Structure 1
């Protein structure tokens, strides 16, 4: 098996770290998902007494997660394209350093470039309770897309739940603003029956109407396409269905809820006709007016955790 990272030193460090970690296995998307399109990406497989998961080194992207006796909690598209530099459809993509369409330059890539870039695995350990902890690092020098130096750290804690902690460091001499989202694609058994609890009565911005402000009546359901940003949501939210999933957080002020609906899904190559029935996105984030302002030399952190209940 040949693992191809951006440079030989990164590949060697990864192989050495995995060799020391009995709960990690290095593979490729071609081996893990032989029917998926794309030229292939390196993946990490996590297997412990508590859980299993699959992570792409592109984007530090959790693709699959389930506890040993639980149900799969993430949806990965069967049409996910594993071509380097292509955004992966499903799991938990990290949208960074902006979410959605760039508000100052719509020609820039949607959802930033963190999810399309390789991250380095800096640490991997199995804690005494059987929980796996992995730390990834991404360093970005000022460039045409984002003219500031910054780095980002992502700590993934996988056990009886999946917890993802993001830290963004402004390593530049100037202040900057950034937005981000942990873009969770959660597996469901019925789009007709699933509900999102914890948002009733709350204000939201409807992306189908230019982020027009509206108010949520009752729980969120999915009679058609849904693309909404709910600001100032301090409480946890729950996906009520099969499985039922609770999502808690710290310092993730926004909640994004999305499903493209049948017509749009059929036109999106890496989703495909009918696939919208098997997932909803319920994302913890800091977007729109809740984007982060980072003065030069400062850092900010947030975490999101999900589990079956």
Structure 2
């Protein structure tokens, strides 16, 4: 059992970092500094809120989300590791890997000289993780809360042999209406359409979404932005250590079939994800590390 008081005594920073039980018995880290507020759940190392001081919430959370062990949290930034989507050979294994279904330990909290706040969470290989994946590893989530939110998954291979893994920072962005946004920065990129299995190339300057969409844009590290007319803001998204950008919105019919999402939830989020999968998996030699990161900002 995780003791939020003990964590507060060891890692709390007065007026800036605190620990508390929220949404049932799950323990969250609450961060508040001069730039932004953020909430991070230790279950899954899952960021559930990022609120810059002069604007509204940037992340979308489902009002029907589960907050209990054994079930993934819907919304925010789920951490997919060590695979993305269904397991390649065993469909009984959890969708998107096991990292989002386990408690991570607090490694460090720090008040940075510029007023930003850093939180580091760690998940190490164990008997439990080896039930799903045979390798030894240390995965650290580095989170920096400031004028932007920086989310970095740092994976170290502590095995005696190389391993390959996939991952994603499965970010749900809060938008005014899916019908009134455009995603910039994808023109000219080739993509896999997961819904049809076909490949394509985007010719439009701006991606607008009016139907179910799951696209995996290939071989790209290009920054993108979500232009939101209703909220009069642009969410900027930069990434590194990822060659695939996934864009997802289930639209009305599929959304209505999801038990942890309200029927109209599709209208107020879009996922834009830094992904490593398909032909762009990550290979790490023994003793080596690899980082996948995203940086989120807002322009009004």
Alignment match of 2:203 (pick from 185, 206, 217): 217
TM-score with structure 2 length normalisation?
A: 0.93
SS of match in other structure, 1:64: strand
Residue 63 (1) aligns with residue 48 (2): yes
Residue 199 (1) aligns with residue 199 (2): no
SS of match in other structure, 2:83: coil
* Equivalent-residue separation in structure 2 for 1:76 and 1:14 (angstroms): 25
Alignment match of 2:137 (pick from 150, 154, 176): 150
2:164 corresponds in structure 1 to 177
**Cα displacement string for residues 147-176 of structure 1 (whole angstroms, at most 9, x for unaligned residues):** 111110111000100001111011111221
The alpha-carbon deviation at position 277 of structure 1 amounts to: 0.3
1:35 corresponds in structure 2 to none
* Equivalent-residue separation in structure 2 for 1:195 and 1:19 (angstroms): 40
2:283 corresponds in structure 1 to 293
Alignment match of 1:238 (pick from 218, 221, 225): 225
1:47 corresponds in structure 2 to 32
SS of match in other structure, 1:235: coil
* Equivalent-residue separation in structure 1 for 2:135 and 2:75 (angstroms): 29
Residue 119 (1) aligns with residue 109 (2): no
Q: Is the 8 A contact 1:252 1:304 kept in 2?
A: no
Q: Is the 8 A contact 1:96 1:113 kept in 2?
A: yes
Residue 107 (1) aligns with residue 92 (2): yes
Summarize the Cα distance change of 1:40–1:13 in structure 2 as closer, same or farther, 3 Å threshold: closer
* Equivalent-residue separation in structure 2 for 1:234 and 1:207 (angstroms): 20
1:304 corresponds in structure 2 to 294
SS of match in other structure, 2:261: coil
The RMSD of aligned alpha carbons is 1.5
* Equivalent-residue separation in structure 1 for 2:105 and 2:131 (angstroms): 22
Q: Is the 8 A contact 2:60 2:174 kept in 1?
A: yes
2:73 corresponds in structure 1 to 88
SS of match in other structure, 1:208: coil
Residue 282 (1) aligns with residue 272 (2): yes
The alpha-carbon deviation at position 20 of structure 1 amounts to: 4.1
The alpha-carbon deviation at position 240 of structure 1 amounts to: 0.9
2:147 corresponds in structure 1 to 160
Q: Which ranges in structure 1 are unaligned for 5 or more consecutive residues?
A: 31-38
Q: Which ranges in structure 2 are unaligned for 5 or more consecutive residues?
A: none
2:9 corresponds in structure 1 to 16
Aligned residues: 293
